């Protein structure tokens, strides 16, 4: 099967999907008291996860977005059309995300909020408390998605942490539960010991580290793969000559071609930018389509040592 596929309800669907309709005809929301983002119809397509909940194909990354400047950047992202904000305890910006939600005129049910459990709180009771504290900081009743940030296999608490996420979901604190940076061996152990698989696995993924085996495993097990650092944290991939030529063919930026490549692989993306222009560009991905040959050319850029910071989940520890 060609890699030029999208993911929907745990299945690959043909690249003949009508991309011209990928922006939803969104309800426009009125501003209240002159505050909050301007209404926008440029909302990314929603797909259905294996638990029946929906998630936007394109989210907005919030790593390093803290304080007042971070709030302003995230507010602009909502105005641009993003509806999913991806945070984490270790980003130290859950308060800023909460402030964005408070200021926004958007309804809570029209936002998709993600956070992540840090390695230092993977023991069951600590994990439950950490989830509750995250909700308090954001002034929310529930998360749309909550992830274990890293498996930290040397500590060997990630199954206990997963059991805590399962319990928190039963408590109504989380709608969908998932993981980040989990390898097949970690996912297999979760299923073996709990009978429950994550619905999302958020991993490092970009043209120099495309993770075909991980993507294949995830798809076969009904797990939606999301790419963090989908543009390689602005490394050399944004200057790659092969991608540049493809971008020129489509009259798009290199970043747009990379994000489009990831979408056509069936991967959700979470780009981040403080630039309003780039925020718009990173959503403007559905009026062109890469050919199978172009997809293959970009995938061929994969490198054995392509990780940006050599963070191998088999041994890497983050607390």
Q: Please indicate if the annotation marks 251 as binding a ligand.
A: no
HSE (side-chain half, CA atoms, 13 Å) at 111? 28
Phi, psi of 80 (to 5 degrees): -70, -30
Q: Is 91 a catalytic residue?
A: yes
Query: What's CA 122's distance to the chain center, in Å?
Result: 21
| CA 71 vs CA 77, 256, 279, 291: distances in Å | 10, 25, 15, 38
Give the angle subtended at the CA of 151 by the CAs of 147 and 155, to the nearest 5°.
135
* Alpha helices per DSSP H over the chain: 67-80, 94-103, 124-138, 158-170, 184-194, 212-220, 241-250, 254-264, 276-283, 292-299
- Token code pair at residue 271: 């780009």
| CA 21 vs CA 18, 26, 33, 153: distances in Å | 6, 12, 33, 42
228: left (phi over 0), alpha (psi -120 to 50) or beta: beta
- What is the Rg, in whole angstroms, of the alpha carbon atoms belonging to the chain? 19
Separation between Cα atoms, residue 146 and residue 178, nearest integer Å: 6
Q: Which residue among the candidates 23, 91, 146, 208 is catalytic per the annotation? A: 91
DSSP sequence for 299-313: HTT--TT--SS---T
Determine contact, residues 89/66, Cβ cutoff 8 Å.
no
Cβ contacts of residue 50 below 8 Å, gap of 6+?
9, 10, 197, 199, 222, 223, 224
Task: State the catalytic residues.
Answer: 91
Binding residues for substrate: 149
């Amino acid at each position: 099967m060609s890699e030029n596929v999208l993911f929907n309800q745990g299945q690959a669907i043909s690249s003949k999907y009508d991309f011209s309709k990928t922006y939803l005809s969104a309800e426009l929301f009125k501003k209240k008291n002159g505050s909050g983002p301007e209404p926008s119809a440029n909302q990314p397509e929603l797909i259905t996860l294996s638990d029946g909940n929906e998630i936007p194909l394109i989210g907005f990354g919030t790593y390093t977005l803290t304080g007042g400047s971070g709030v302003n950047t995230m507010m602009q992202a909502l105005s641009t059309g993003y509806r999913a904000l991806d945070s984490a305890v270790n980003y130290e910006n859950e308060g800023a995300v909460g402030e964005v939600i408070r200021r926004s005129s958007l309804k809570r049910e029209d936002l998709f909020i993600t956070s992540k459990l840090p390695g230092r709180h993977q023991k069951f009771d600590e994990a439950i408390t950490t989830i509750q504290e995250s909700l308090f900081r954001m002034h929310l009743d529930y998360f749309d998605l909550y992830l274990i940030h890293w498996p930290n296999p040397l500590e060997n608490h990630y199954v206990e942490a997963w059991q805590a996420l399962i319990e928190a979901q039963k408590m109504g604190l989380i709608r969908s539960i998932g993981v980040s940076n989990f390898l097949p061996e970690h996912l297999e152990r979760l299923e073996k010991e709990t009978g429950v698989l994550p619905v999302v696995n958020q991993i490092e993924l970009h043209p120099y580290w495309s993770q075909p085996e991980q993507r294949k495993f995830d798809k076969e097990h009904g797990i939606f793969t999301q790419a963090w650092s989908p543009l390689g944290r602005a490394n050399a991939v944004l200057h790659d000559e092969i991608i540049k030529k493809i971008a020129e063919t489509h009259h798009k930026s290199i970043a747009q071609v990379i994000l489009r490549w990831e979408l056509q692989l069936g991967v959700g993306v979470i780009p981040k930018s403080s630039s309003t222009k780039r925020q718009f560009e990173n959503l403007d991905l559905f009026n062109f389509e890469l050919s199978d040959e172009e997809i293959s050319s970009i995938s061929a850029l994969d490198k054995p040592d392509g990780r940006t910071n050599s963070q191998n989940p088999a041994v890497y520890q983050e607390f």
